[in-house]
Amino acid sequence: MSLVKKNTSHVLLTLGVLFTIGGATRFLPNGLAFAEDVALAPSAAASQGAAKPGTDAKGAAGPSEVCFTSETAAMVAEDQWLFESQKEELKNEKLALQTWEKELQTQTAELQALQTTLETRWQQIQGASDQDIKHLAGMYSAMKPDSAASIFNQMDPAFAAGFLRLMPSEQAGLILASMDSKKAYVISVKVASMNADVRNAPAGLD
């Protein structure tokens, strides 16, 4: 009886060991596969990150990626064309201004030359006129006072005063004495008023 119990115990013990080993072998492949997946996860993540240099650690697109569409390219090309057009327009305007400036300088030089010519011509005319008046004044001085007085009576008072101013005082006095008294008075006032602005200028002024 004891022998049978001992054999039965050995059989049960053997069956328990076999069941234990069987269960362990059933779960062992899954455990090994799980451990392998855990070990390979970091290297896979590293290789995936290396395959996408434009992404960061979270998988988002990095700043190196630029969206450059055809519409953007067209806008850039249009801006470049406008810039070149304005540049060419400014260049043409600059050339036109330079040409206009040269023409203006030429016209200014011509006007200055013309002004110089006119001033020279006026001085020549004025000199010739002064010579003519001096010549007439000499002629009236050589005439008899009565004859000269009859001519002076017909002259404009200012014109007659200019002639008398160029004559010697004695000869001018004789002519005035032979003239109409009223006309002689007006001419005398004209002679006295000559160079009045110079006489009335304050002393000390050049």
* Alpha helices per DSSP H over 52-180: 70-142, 145-152, 157-166, 169-178
Phi, psi of 61 (to 5 degrees): -65, 135
Residues 6 or more apart from 166 whose CB is under 8 A from it?
133, 134, 137
The pLDDT value recorded for residue 193 is 87
pTM, two decimals, is: 0.40
Distance CA(179)–CA(99), nearest Å, equals: 68
Type of residue found at 150: S
CA 102 vs CA 92, 96, 118, 121, 204: distances in Å: 15, 10, 24, 29, 47
User: Cα-Cα-Cα-Cα dihedral of 162, 166, 167, 170, to 10°?
Assistant: 90
Q: Where are the domains of the chain?
A: 7-38
Closest-CA residue to 59 (of 70, 68, 48): 48
Query: Which residue's entry shows tokens 């008072």?
Result: 157
The pLDDT value recorded for residue 85 is 86
List per-residue pLDDT tens for the chain, 206 residues long: 444 444 555 555 565 555 565 554 454 455 444 445 545 455 544 445 444 444 444 444 444 555 668 888 888 888 888 888 888 889 899 899 999 999 999 999 999 999 999 998 888 888 887 788 888 888 998 999 999 999 999 999 998 998 898 899 899 999 999 999 999 999 999 988 886 554 555 555 44
Distance CA(187)–CA(191), nearest Å, equals: 6
